[in-house]
Amino acid sequence: MPRLYDAIIVGAGPAGALLGWLLATSGLNVLILEKQRLPRYKPCGGGLTRRALDLLPFDPAPVVEDLARRAVILLDGRPVFETLEREPVITLVMRDRFDHFLARRAEGAGATLKDGLAFRGLSGSFGRLEVATSAGTFHGRLIVGADGASSPTARALGLWSARRVFSALEAEVDFDRPETLDRFRGAVHFDFGLPPQGYAWLFPKAGHVSMGVLTRCMALKNLRPWFQAYLQTKGLDRETTVRSLRPHLIPWGSGSGGRLADDRGLLIGDAAGLTDPITGEGLYFAFREARLAAGVIREALDRGGAYLRRYEGLMRREFRIELAWARALAFLLYRMPGLRRRAFDIHGPGLGRRLLDVFAGRTSYRNLALRVLHPASLKALASPRSRRTI
Ligand SMILES: Cc1cc2nc3c(=O)[nH]c(=O)nc-3n(C[C@H](O)[C@H](O)[C@H](O)COP(=O)(O)OP(=O)(O)OC[C@H]3O[C@@H](n4cnc5c(N)ncnc54)[C@H](O)[C@@H]3O)c2cc1C
């Protein structure tokens, strides 16, 4: 008799690895399938916010590259906010090491990890699924798609739907002179307005920096000139080596409208199509969804496959309101440049501070939006001379 796993998780990124750990620590028999050999390079800023870290059941200190206590926000090339905090605003990791660390934790808790083999398709029903891979067939009671933005599992489950996406271009940047890194150590930079309808970022790592640009404007087909412009604005267009420069898509919507579960399985992480509609931060969502999914899966294994469908309603309840506010703010930030400039002129430091509070989980986009869209704030936005903070 082939082994029957309680759950088969496709993808050993942060979403799949954390879910594997959560299920294995509650005594379930879990298989994680990963297409690539671990550790593998994953294009990502590798920025972990406090709200994301708070969802991790263990300390990632062994794989932390830098701690950013300074945050700098620019708008259209003008500094609008800078702060030096006592606590890190963002914790920086390289995703090859971080994801491997999480996958090893899941293995340590008892999950079986098979890397270097790709999910191909599935058949059967809840309780007795056959999962075909590039290296044979595995049997599980249910399946989880944690296989990233283009999720073959979502397609196989018939849960794939069109997503709204950011188009991004990211690279690792090495310095010919190691001392150049000292200018960037311990600080994260967000440059809104470069490129249009998006922002650029610079995140320091132990021996280099990760830099990228993203936009919501799908008409901007080629982001390379914007990446080059960003290197120039940071004085990094010379004496540097740019490696792993590639385009990527980051999904930022559809999860609440799209299907996320059926009687055989469910989707988490980028496979579910949700990230922060303003920043593209996905790790926080991946961890939150893994936690939500773990509870649903434990119940479904007792009650039957139909229970898995509850996950969709839970996700909606968990994220709908917050994401609606975040999308409204994203619209203001990315689609209304005049109003955005005015909002930052008037509220610059307050907006920067509150954005960091969202990263830290101390406030929500709803509270931030209610401040910006408060009648007094709107009146200030309409008045040419007003200057106050929120
Ligand atoms: C350029 C860029 C910068 C980003 N910066 C940040 C940031 O700074 N902070 C942040 O929070 N988020 C960031 N994100 C978003 C973040 O990277 C994602 O939200 C996060 O990786 C989602 O994790 P995941 O586990 O769902 O998917 P992934 O990390 O994509 O993992 C999915 C895994 O599934 C595997 N897989 C795929 N197909 C198969 C298959 N057929 N069979 C088996 N395995 C398969 C893949 O190899 C991969 O290992 C960024 C994204 C991009 C593109």
Average pLDDT (19-46) is: 98
Q: Check pLDDT > 60 for residue 12.
A: yes
Report residue 95 as tokens.
Answer: 């995703």
CA–centroid distance, 161 to ligand 1, in Å, is 18
- Ligand 1 binding pocket mutation candidate from 21, 22, 35, 227 (most atoms within 8 A of CB): 35
CA dihedral 176, 182, 184, 186 (to 10 degrees): 140
Q: What is the DSSP string of 232-260?
A: HHTT-SSSEEEEEEEEEEEEEE-TTTS--
pLDDT tens readout for residues 201-219: 999 999 999 999 999 999 9
Q: Which atom of ligand 1 is nearest to the CA of 250?
A: 53
Q: Check pLDDT > 90 for residue 96.
A: yes
CA–centroid distance, 146 to ligand 1, in Å, is 9
Average pLDDT (95-122) is: 98
Place of tokens 């406030």: 363
Third-level CATH fold of 4-65+94-161+254-322: FAD/NAD(P)-binding domain (3.50.50)
Q: Which atom of ligand 1 is nearest to the CA of 52?
A: 11
Domain boundaries, the chain: 4-65+94-161+254-322, 164-252
pLDDT tens readout for residues 298-331: 999 999 999 999 999 999 999 989 999 999 999 9
CA–centroid distance, 14 to ligand 1, in Å, is 7
In angstroms, rounded to a whole number, what is the distance separating the alpha carbons of residues 280 and 169? 13
Residue 383's pLDDT is what? 66
Q: Check pLDDT > 80 for residue 348.
A: no
Q: Which CATH number, 1.10.580.10, 3.30.450.90, 3.40.50.1370, 3.30.9.10, labels domain 164-252?
A: 3.30.9.10
* Main-chain dihedrals φ then ψ at residue 136, nearest 5 degrees: 105, 180
Report residue 154 as tokens.
Answer: 């979502």
CA dihedral 31, 36, 38, 44 (to 10 degrees): -110
Residue 373's pLDDT is what? 73
